[in-house]
Amino acid sequence: MKKRNVFLTLLFAVALISGGYAQSFKFGPKVGLNVSNYTGDNVESDALVGMHLGGLLSFGIGNVFSIQPEVLFSTQGAKIKNNNTKYEFKTNYVSVPVMLKARTGFGLYFEAGPQVAFKTGEKIGDQTISKFAENLDLAGGIGLGYQAGFGLGIGARYVQGISKVGTFESSSIKADVKNSIVQVGLFWAIPVN
């Protein structure tokens, strides 16, 4: 709970600071594909395909930099082998990445920043459970993409978990695994000015 309060305070401070210095403001929808897996503790897993959907705000700072907080519904997880059977571990999150973006004059951009995600549901196979994944997932992301002058863009991002995903009850699966997600998405940042 303490980590969550600190992180939310940091996100709020970034939003206030960036809003005060913003020279441009944009907002819009974002949708895309997730390819996720678990990393750490030699867990035997395969990637799971999911999606993300939500919206973004963009606070421009000068001609090059912007701060872009997003709110995304994201499905992720992994296929884990346990006793010769593969189970799909699916977790739904509302994730809030806050990316610092640097744009070139040609529309290319690079981004990096923290992400906090809140669990909204989970499933193993066809069973809905509520005790596998932690309620809070902290991560960091880096990415690149292209954004046209009128705001339509495409981007790719890698998100690596910092906190452990959850607690497994099986003795053959280690508990210290982290989320690892590759995201490819489309967005439209609509200028407000």
177, 39 in Cβ contact below 8 A?
yes
C-alpha R_g of the chain: 18
Query: Residue 188 has which token pair?
Result: 């439209």
- Region of poorest pLDDT, from 11-15, 86-90, 174-178: 11-15
Tens of pLDDT, residue by residue over 139-155, are 999 999 999 989 999 99
For the chain, give the percent of residues with pLDDT over 90: 60
Which domain covers residue 112, as residue numbers? 2-191
Hey, is 55 helix, strand or coil? strand
Q: CATH number for the domain including 179?
A: 2.40.160.20
Domain total in the chain:
1
DSSP string, 71-133: EEEEEEEEEEEETTEEEEEEEEEEEEEEEEEEE-TTSEEEEEEEEEEEEEEEEETTEE-SSSB
Between CA 173 and CA 44 the distance in angstroms is 9
